[in-house]
Amino acid sequence: MLALRGLAKHYRLGEGEPVRAVDGVDLDVADGELLALYGPSGSGKSTLLLLIAALLRPDRGTVTLDGREITALTEEQAARYRLADLGFVSQKAEILPGARVIENAALKLWIADPRGAERRVRPLLERLGLGERLRQRADTLSLGERQRLMIALALSTEPKLVLADEPTGSLDTQRSREVLALLSEVCRERSVAMLLVTHDPEAAAFADRVAELRDGRLTDYDPDRAAIAQRTA
């Protein structure tokens, strides 16, 4: 299980007041739980994910995963943790355009097991509806298919935790729902915990629980306020 305690990160730019991007966050995410983290642009969502991924060091507080203090890892340990225990899905599908679909999906596994990587990732690509596309170049895929390829890459190492930062931000409503439904189904099947960052109130419907971030602090999620914010955006 993931536990955040008193987590804070302030950005200092020149002389002025620091930006309190993450400002004292306590949060638990259980094994296999899908938590949607909702919040407007600038509320600190991406900074929070960077702290959990050990890509950024907090000013205060701790991140632990299954009792292991992530915020105390060395650079090398953190790199290993990201490779083995974490999956990432970001807004932009960062594919290698000249490589085939299956080669893209096998990239993380390839580091530990170059010969077995493609065989191991294949069932996951099939589960994600890309079974007919394995040998195609990744740049021939549609946006929705590229996002599914990124999900395959994220889940390929059987991580404990998936961090998804607005994973459907570049998709239309219909595609966005399909991708979110698939992402949440596959995480549930595999008991993978997921922190799904979004500013789309619709996305919250796929979660077990919703938390809201405002100015770097967690607050109770208010679906009505979220719906109004969405309509006036």
Ligand X SMILES: Nc1ncnc2c1ncn2[C@@H]1O[C@H](COP(=O)(O)OP(=O)(O)O)[C@@H](O)[C@H]1O
3-state class (DSSP) for residue 17? coil
Q: Which stretch binds ligand X (CB under 6 A): 40-48, 74-82, 118-126, 184-192?
A: 40-48
Helices (H), the chain: 45-52, 75-84, 101-105, 107-112, 117-127, 143-155, 173-189, 223-232
Q: Between 121 and 195, whose beta carbon lies closer to ligand X?
A: 195
Rounded distance between C-alpha atoms, residue 83 and residue 8, angstroms: 24
| Spatial distance between the Cα atoms of 39 and 195, rounded to a whole number of angstroms | 13
Of residues 11 and 94, the one with the C-beta less far from ligand X: 11
Residue 205 in the binding site for ligand X (CB under 6 A): no
Applying CB under 5 A, which part among 16-24, 38-46, 134-142, 186-194 lies near Mg ion?
38-46
Instruction: Report d(CA 25, CA 148) in Å as an integer.
Output: 31
Please give the size of the binding site for ligand X, defined by CB under 6 A. Answer: 12
- Rule CB under 6 A: choose which of 23, 44, 82, 153 binds ligand X: 44
Which residues in the 89-128 window bind ligand X by CB under 6 A? none
| Token pair recorded at residue 94 | 């960062």
Can you spell out the DSSP letters for 52-63?
HTTSS--SEEEE
Position 46 contacts Mg ion (CB under 5 A): yes
* Distance in Å, CB of 46 to Mg ion, minimum: 3
- Minimum distance from residue 196 beta carbon to ligand X (Å): 13
Between 11 and 28, whose beta carbon lies closer to ligand X?
Answer: 11
Choosing among Mg ion, ligand X, none, which partner's interface includes residue 233 (Cβ < 5 to 8 Å by kind)?
none
Which amino acid makes up residue 102? I
Neighbours of 103 (CB within 10 A): 18
Residues that bind Mg ion (CB under 5 A): 45-46
Residues that bind ligand X (CB under 6 A): 11, 13, 19, 21, 39, 41-47
